Every structure is written in structure tokens, then in C-alpha cells.
A and B are shown apart, each in its own frame.
Chain A
């Protein structure tokens, strides 16, 4: 005689340790098996697009920092690049190099947080998380050196960056990039072969490449499924065409691959930073751009490879000093599109890991 069972609805979030902010997942469970989910977002909606349209261009840089607060450098860089394209101004060489160094450091910092949280969601009681934060702290200290901030930097400016690097920055950075490969090896020693981690992530939450492309998934999540799309390579911006680096990809597209993918990308970022430091020229870090800019009429779309994927800014200018339309193509939001296909059929515990392996930041999703 079969027991009579019925599915029940579990409300995961908006306040839950594994929702990376205020995300709500309405999951229908049959026992432990997730049979349906409905993501509900908007708890952090601040209307940044509207706010940005009501402010001058210069005042939108801090707003962009507050989109993805774990990768603020990348976001403000994408925004200032969009405005520079509208204005048609160029950036001094040294500033380009500084930007690349900052953005790649930011990518490492962001991936460290991502990998740490994946490990946490698998259930390691904060140990890998703390290891990764040890190195993330060093990066934040480096940021602190250049702009006096650790989270929301407000460092990028139209036509360059706000300050030149302080004297002590390059030695500290050199020390960091020499030590970091050893730390990454240490993570691999501790995590990559862990039996329990393997059974919890291998083959779990597979995202097939066709589905990933159709759902416009981007970033490490897409590349872990075997699609080598990286804006730095396929549509090079800034000075990325001058550096030698690989676009690592994985094949299986499961949670394990999404975790490994980020580890590999950290190594590549280190390679880029090393080359950028070697080639770093002397000179100005800011071309003189007036405080109030009035870009000519027109629209512009600039996309960059942010840590979480393809970050795009679509700006429409009507010739005034405020952007007429300010749209953000947020990778975290669009990466959530195939979430249902990835999660349903797996257990509740897997759902959390799959969700974590996509690595979202609510500030960017809700905007």
C-alpha cells in the first residue's frame, strides 16, 4: 500500500542564509525533491535606472558601484566606457592599464567570494569561505590604497581614473600576484578532490550549452557549459587585445565545472595583471573632461566581461547633461533564466548548491 503523499510549498527566502541577499524561491517540494520553483525578485529594487536618468552623468558613477557591490570596479568601468563612447573621448594609456589591473583584481575578489559561497552551500562550515576571504581582504586592501574604499570605490572617471596609483601600490600588488598562485593551489588541494564535494557537485544541475545560449546565459556559468564566449576576446574593449590569456572552458556544465571554471579564471586574471604591471606606462591618468558632460544625441551600447558575465550599458543621450535612458544589462538577472530547468528534479540541498553555483548578486538583479 502506497502512502498518500502530497507536495508542499516551501518559501525559501527572502531572508535565508543561501539566497545571496534578498532572493525568494518559491519551491514546491515532493518530500525532498524540488518539483517546481518560482523565483521572486525585487526586494532590493531601488530604481537605479530611473535614479540615474534623473542625475547628471558624473553622479551616476557611484550608482553603478552600487549595482553589483561585489564587483563595483567592473560596473563603474563599463559605465564610464559607455559615456566615453558617447562623448568620443579617449583615455590615457596609463589609465587604461590601471583600469585593467583594477577590474581583473576585482574579478579575482569576486570569484573568491563566489567559490567560497559555493563551498559554504555544500555545507563546509565556513572553512573554505574564510580561506578565500583571507585573500579577498588583501585585494580589498589594495583597493583601499588606491581609492580609500574597500567596497564601493567610485574610482573610475570619464577619461580615466580619479587618482594615480600610490607609491606603495605596485610593490604590494607584485607581492600579491606572486603569492596568489600558491593560494589557488592551496584551494585546489583542499577542495578539488574532496570526495563529498565531488558527490555533491559532479553531474548536479547540468546546464546544456544549447539551453545556456538560448537563455542568454553569460560569464563563467556559460563557459562552464563549454561555450567559449568572453567579451574580452570576442569583442575586445579597453586594451585587452594586448594581453596574452586563455579563455578557459569546461565541458560538463555541472556545479563542479562552474566552481572549477572560476578557479581557472582567477589564474588567467593573474596572468593579465602580471602583464599589465610589466607594461604599465608612465603618464597622465585622466584626460581633462569637464565635470558636467553633455554628450551629443545618440545611443550607445557597451558591454564588458564582468565577473558574473556580460555586463552591458545602453545609454541614450538627448544632448542634455542627464542620460535620457540608462539601461543595465545585468548578467545576474539573465543568468537566472534557466534556473527552473536546472533545479527541478533535484533535491532541496542540490537546489541550493545549483543556485549558488550560478553566483548572483541581488544588487545587480533588482537594481
Chain B
């Protein structure tokens, strides 16, 4: 029942995982893509962390790599955490966290639709807003809306 500060959470994580798997950086945890599910289930399942509520999933195109941003919070302890996962532009595949938080379902579909990052293990990975034949991914920086 105690809110942990970011440093305490980062400390807990650093104690458990090697720095190349998870590294704290500017108020967020940067996780390696292949370790995401492991770290996420640790965050979700550990009682003193208990991140049971996934606020938001989104992706940013940093020209060269994508960064998937997860905002987590714990209803019990009311502390929150930002997870950032990088994935290379030429192989935009990420593990899906839908098995942990179903709230990611539509948001991962949205990222898939607009940013072109696919999520392995997502139960229903289809385009969300755009139609099936749509070419390109509008939120990528190399896509111009023509305005």
C-alpha cells in the first residue's frame, strides 16, 4: 500500500535484471524488446509493484528506430512508470502485452495500423482505423499527409 518513487522502482528492477535488459533513463525504464514480456510480467506480478493498469501504449518514430511507450500505473499503490522499448525500423516486430493487460488490445492495433509496428502474439492484429488496402503508415515520419 505504499507508493514507490521512480528511483525505488528502478532500484528493484536493476537488482533483478541486467542493465542491458532494463536501464533507467530520464524517468523511464528502457527495456530491450526481447525482454519486454518478462519485465512486464515481473512488474505486473510483483506485489510491491503491482502495475495492474496499463494507461497507454503508443509509438514514436525516431527516424531509424521506433520507440514503443507504455504508461503503467498501480491502482493499489498509485505509483506509475513509463516503459520504453526500442525496435529497429527494418524489423518492426514487438511482443504483444495483451496477455498481461487486455487494455493494450485496441492500442496495439492502433500502433500497428498507423505506425506499422506489428505485435507478435496479439490475438486479433488487424487495421483499426484505416481500411485494409491502405498503403503506408501515416504516423511514420516518412509519410507526408500532403498538407
Contact = CB atoms under 8 A, between A and B. Distances in A.
Given A54-B147, A324-B60, A216 B128 contact: no
Contacts of B138: 47, 50
B102 A337 contact: yes
A343 to B, nearest CB: 16
Contacts of A314: 56, 58, 69, 71
Interface string A301-322: 1010000001010101000000
A96 interface: no
- Name the residue among B101, B102, B143, B147 with the largest chain A CB count within 10 angstroms: B102
A42 B131 contact: yes
A338 B106 CA distance: 10
Interface in B69-125: 69, 71, 75, 78, 80, 82, 101-107, 110, 114
Nearest to B124: A38
Given A47-B138, A235-B78, A316 B106 contact: no
A366 interface: yes
B46 interface: no
Contact of B56 (A50, A213, A301): A301
B37 interface: no
Interface stretch (A75-83, A84-92, A200-208, A325-333): A325-333
A216 B78 contact: no
B49 to A, nearest CB: 15
A227 B145 contact: no
Given A42-B129, A50-B139, A51-B145, A234 B78 contact: yes
A314 B129 CA distance: 19
B60 A337 contact: no
Contacts of A329: 55-56, 58, 71
Contact of B55 (A310, A324, A333, A337): A310
Interface in A26-62: 41-42, 45, 47, 49-51, 53-54
Interface residues of B, number: 34
Contacts of B147: 51, 54
A333 B110 contact: yes
Contacts of B56: 301, 312, 314, 327, 329
Nearest to A216: B103
A216 B56 CA distance: 8
A336 B129 contact: no
A337 B128 contact: no
A283 B52 CA distance: 43
Contacts of A47: 138, 145
A215 B128 contact: no
A233 to B, nearest CB: 10
A72 B59 CA distance: 25
B12 interface: no
Given A47-B138, A298-B26, A299-B69, 15 more contacts: A45-B130, A50-B138, A50-B139, A214-B103, A215-B105, A216-B103, A234-B78, A235-B80, A299-B60, A301-B82, A312-B71, A327-B56, A329-B56, A329-B71, A333-B106
8 contacts: A47-B138, A50-B114, A214-B52, A216-B53, A234-B78, A337-B102, A337-B106, A367-B129
- In the complex, the 10 A-B pairs of residues with the closest C-beta atoms, listed nearest first: A216-B103, A42-B129, A329-B56, A45-B129, A327-B58, A325-B60, A215-B102, A214-B102, A50-B138, A215-B103
Interface of A: 41-42, 45, 47, 49-51, 53-54, 211, 213-217, 227, 229, 234-235, 298-299, 301, 303, 310, 312, 314, 316, 324-325, 327, 329, 333-334, 336-338, 366-367
